[in-house]
Amino acid sequence: MIQLNVNGHMHQVDADPRTPLLYVLRNELKLNAAKFGCGLGQCGACTVLIDHEPVFSCLLPISVIDGRYIQTVEGLGSEEKPGPVQRAFLAEQAAQCGYCIPGMMMRAQALLERNAAPSDEQIRDYMAPNLCRCGTHMRILRAVKHAAQLMTAAGHGALREASK
């Protein structure tokens, strides 16, 4: 049995310790935000945060997680009460097919926790590991900037500093 702390809830998981986290999130815990894109750490659709660091959950065996804090899009807010990153992505209509968007939102969240007001260049640089095949990059850029404003307005900026 392995204990996983996902979005603040503890889960007991009975799976092979080598199983990538993504499969456990989706198949065991039914948290379907993180997506399987390539399974090779090339596309970023599976991005989640582990202790506030963006990681590819398709390449992360659950054995290594060992009580670390996992955050997925489900932890950013709910359908009824979306969080600032979710509201910004909705407002900017950043999704076309939407498959990459959960990964994009998690990486954006990680960026904004480090840098409350990133420049366009910093956003491009930080978001580079995540791919979008529809080409909605300009909207994603806008959504990240928008999210930064929402977070700053709500006092969520530099959240990571506060949690230290």
Partner 1 sequence: MIWRGVAGFIVVLALAFGAFYAWQWRDEIAPVKPPVASSFDPAIVAKGARLAAVGDCAVCHTKAGGKPFAGGFPVQSPFGIIYGSNITPDPQTGIGSWSEEAFRRALREGVTRKGNHLYPAFPYDHFTRVTDDDISALYAYLMTREPVQQRNLPPDLPFPLNIRLSAAAWKLLFLSTGQYQPDRTQSAQWNRGAYLTAGLGHCGACHSPRNSLGAEDNTKAYAGGKGEGWTAPALNSASPAPVPWTADQLYAYLRHGFADEHGHVAGPMQPVVQELARASESDVRAIAVYIASLPGAQNAAQLQQRTKAALQFAQNRNPTVVRRISTTGVAAAPEAQQMHGSADGAAIFAGACASCHHSGGELPISRPIELGLSTPVNEQDPTDFIRIVLDGIHPAPQRHGPIMPGFAGALTDAQIIALAAYVRAQFSRAGPWTHVAETLKAAHKNPEPKSGMP
Determine which residue in the list 4, 25, 54, 74 makes contact with partner 1, applying CB under 8 A.
54
Is 18 a binding residue for partner 1 by CB under 8 A? The answer is yes
Q: Which two tokens stand for residue 158?
A: 């530099």
Q: Which two tokens stand for residue 88?
A: 């910004």
Question: What are the angstrom distances between the C-alpha of 90 and each of 11, 31, 51?
Answer: 30, 20, 26
Smallest separation (angstroms) from partner 1 to the CB of 1: 12
Q: Measure CA 153 to chain center.
A: 21
Is 82 a binding residue for partner 1 by CB under 8 A? The answer is no
Smallest separation (angstroms) from partner 1 to the CB of 100: 16
26 or 137: CB nearest partner 1: 26
Is 39 a binding residue for partner 1 by CB under 8 A? The answer is yes
Residue 131 contacts by C-beta under 8 Å, 6 or more apart in sequence? Answer: 37, 42, 43, 44, 45, 100
CA–CA separation, 10 vs 13, rounded Å?
10
Determine which residue in the list 66, 78, 90, 120 makes contact with partner 1, applying CB under 8 A.
66
Is 26 a binding residue for partner 1 by CB under 8 A? The answer is yes
Determine which residue in the list 29, 55, 111, 123 makes contact with partner 1, applying CB under 8 A.
55
CA–CA separation, 83 vs 90, rounded Å?
11
- Give me the residues that bind partner 1 (CB under 8 A), please: 15-20, 23-24, 26-27, 36, 38-42, 50, 53-56, 58-66, 129
